[in-house]
Amino acid sequence: MSENIIIISIDSLRADGTNYNRELIYGKGKHQRIKTPNLDKFSKAGTSFIKAYSTNTYTTSAHASLFTGTYPPEHGIRTFFDFNQRLNPKTKTMAEELSTKGYQTFFYSDVKELFSEMNIWKGFRVKTYGKSDWLWNSIEEFKKDKNFIFLHLFDVHEPYLYIEDESADEKVNQDYYQAVDDLRNELGIKSKLNQKKNPHDSWEEIKQFLIKNNLDHQQYLKKYYDLGVEEFDKRIKLILERFTDLGFDLNKDLFILLSDHGEGRTEFDKSKSFAHGGSLTEETLRIFFTINIELSSVNSSLISIKDVKKMISFFSNEEKISIENNGLYAEHSQWNQRTTTQDSKDKIGIKNIKSFLSEQAFISNDSKIIINLDQNQYFDIFTKLEKNSEVFIDKTYNFLLNRFPDIEGKNNSLSMIENRSKGNFLNSIINSQEFKNRKHIQVFNTQGLKDSY
């Protein structure tokens, strides 16, 4: 078995973002509009995980979970782009671990700031960004017998249809410029912005117009998101062919294609928003996840983006890949203060953020429980800092049930923790009727989801 490992992260691709996966999640024959023959072909040939979830709705935190195999409270990246955050130095990334096993490690991102500022790319030896040609040249020059290659591609991310890769031909963004012109005409926007000079600003102008006039984002933006996915499908074919040209084998090497999170808050919050990030709905939290190894053509096991590290460990040690989860965790933070900057070195344009944890989600095989928090309710259920079992039980009862345990409840909880784990104890609390009756709790069925297209 070859030991090359390739991860391709497709930013913002929804779990139902391909025809193949959409049929698996929602069933056949429902508005099959998106044409993704290349992603479909790859998924059908291997294993498609149809109950895969991210740990966060933003790129930075989700990738920190991917690289470290841990949840946000442990790896420390909680907010989208807070410069005060750094990846927990005690966590080992997959790049660090594979380096010790003799792997050459390659990193590429269309947008490097999302990884460099908080040291999320820790452990990668060869780092390229912005121009994919640099990646291919680096692989040709530095590859070894064993290689770990990570690509983060921004094609599906908003502004939809816009390609960030500077190696791409300038003509590749003509579809995006046409989309902006079409939207401006449809909405009656008289703009002075030069969209070729300020492509992101012209898209933001459209979004702000929709907000100001209380117009349905889904109606105007979703179709361009779909077109962006179709354009990316063409790029993935070229990327896989490039790997083959460089000597990699789609039948022997491990290829993982996945997204860091989804897109478009439309199903559960009932708003008109089709936006990036936000609430822990299925659209934003459920991810596209497929590998070229056929464990089963369709895998309905509950899986998290953080499980990729474990999966790679199995593969690099030539063990059978096996992942089992009784439940998953995810979170989302909101900004209550943000400072922007015009510094040309800061591509994102955010200098400092103050935020608070606004939502936590607990996901089981058949339901997702979302806890809506506020600035004064900051408590990490999955924290490993609390070693004292009795204190952990008191805090959990107080936060989740708004009371402290009675003597019998505490003794039962202690017994459960000692004989099993904290996870089983937490599951017993969040599955209780008392917990579900709390007003700030939302419980969603994750089986047979409503088709929001």
What is the structure's pLDDT at 1? 47
What is the structure's pLDDT at 346? 44
Q: Find out whether 186 and 220 touch, Cβ atoms under 8 Å.
A: yes
Q: Name the token pair of 52.
A: 């895969």
Residue whose entry in the numeric block shows the structure tokens 């989740």: 400
Q: In which band, very low, low, confident or very high, does the pLDDT at 352 lie, cut at 50, 70 and 90?
A: low
- Residue 281 makes CB contacts below 8 A (sequence gap 6+) with 265, 266, 267, 268, 269
What is the structure's pLDDT at 386? 60
Considering only CA atoms, which of 129, 133, 175, 149 is closest in space to residue 347? 129
For 112-121, 125-134, 175-184, 314-323, which range has the lowest pLDDT when averaged over its residues?
A: 314-323
Half-sphere exposure (CA, 13 Å, Cβ side) for 178?
Answer: 9
What is the structure's pLDDT at 350? 59
Q: Which DSSP string corresponds to 164-215? A: --TTS-GGGGHHHHHHHHHHHHHHT------TTTSHHHHHHHHHHHHHHTT-
Mean pLDDT score across all residues of the chain: 86
Residue 429 pairs in a beta bridge with: none
Q: pLDDT tens digits, residue range 136-158?
A: 999 999 999 999 999 999 999 99
Q: Measured on CA atoms in the order 16, 20, 24, 30, is the torsion positive or negative?
A: positive
Average pLDDT over every residue of 326-338:
81
Higher-confidence residue of 325 and 355: namely 325
Q: Where are the domains of the chain?
A: 5-327, 350-445
What is the structure's pLDDT at 321? 82
Beta strands in 254-374 (DSSP E): 254-258, 289-291, 298-299, 303-304, 328-340, 350-363, 367-372
Q: pLDDT tens digits, residue range 42-96?
A: 999 999 999 999 999 999 999 999 999 999 999 999 988 787 889 999 999 999 9
Write the DSSP symbol of residue 365: S
Q: Find out whether 289 and 302 touch, Cβ atoms under 8 Å.
A: no
As a whole number of angstroms, the distance between CA 188 and CA 323 comes to: 51
Residue 348 has pLDDT above 90, yes or no: no
Q: Find out whether 104 and 86 touch, Cβ atoms under 8 Å.
A: no
Average pLDDT over every residue of 343-361:
66
What is the structure's pLDDT at 330? 94
- Residue 99 makes CB contacts below 8 A (sequence gap 6+) with 105, 123, 125
What is the structure's pLDDT at 451? 35
Q: Measured on CA atoms in the order 435, 437, 440, 446, is the torsion positive or negative?
A: positive
Higher-confidence residue of 245 and 191: namely 245
As a whole number of angstroms, the distance between CA 283 and CA 13 comes to: 10
For 142-146, 163-167, 248-252, 295-299, which range has the lowest pLDDT when averaged over its residues?
A: 295-299
Considering only CA atoms, which of 335, 416, 423, 333 is closest in space to residue 78? 333
As a whole number of angstroms, the distance between CA 191 and CA 442 comes to: 41
Q: In which band, very low, low, confident or very high, does the pLDDT at 308 lie, cut at 50, 70 and 90?
A: very high
Domain 5-327, what architecture? 3-Layer(aba) Sandwich (3.40)
Higher-confidence residue of 399 and 190: namely 190
As a whole number of angstroms, the distance between CA 57 and CA 263 comes to: 9
Residue 351 pairs in a beta bridge with: none
pTM: 0.87
As a whole number of angstroms, the distance between CA 394 and CA 235 comes to: 52
Cα distances from 432 to residues 255, 427, 435, 436, in angstroms, run 40, 8, 5, 7
- Which residue stretches of 257-358 are H helix? 282-285, 308-316
What residue type is 277 in one-letter code?
G
Q: pLDDT tens digits, residue range 16-40?
A: 999 999 888 877 765 567 899 999 9
Q: Name the token pair of 364.
A: 């089981």
For 1-15, 189-203, 325-339, which range has the lowest pLDDT when averaged over its residues?
A: 325-339
Q: Find out whether 178 and 195 touch, Cβ atoms under 8 Å.
A: no
As a whole number of angstroms, the distance between CA 168 and CA 234 comes to: 13
Residue 161 has pLDDT above 80, yes or no: yes
As a whole number of angstroms, the distance between CA 156 and CA 279 comes to: 19
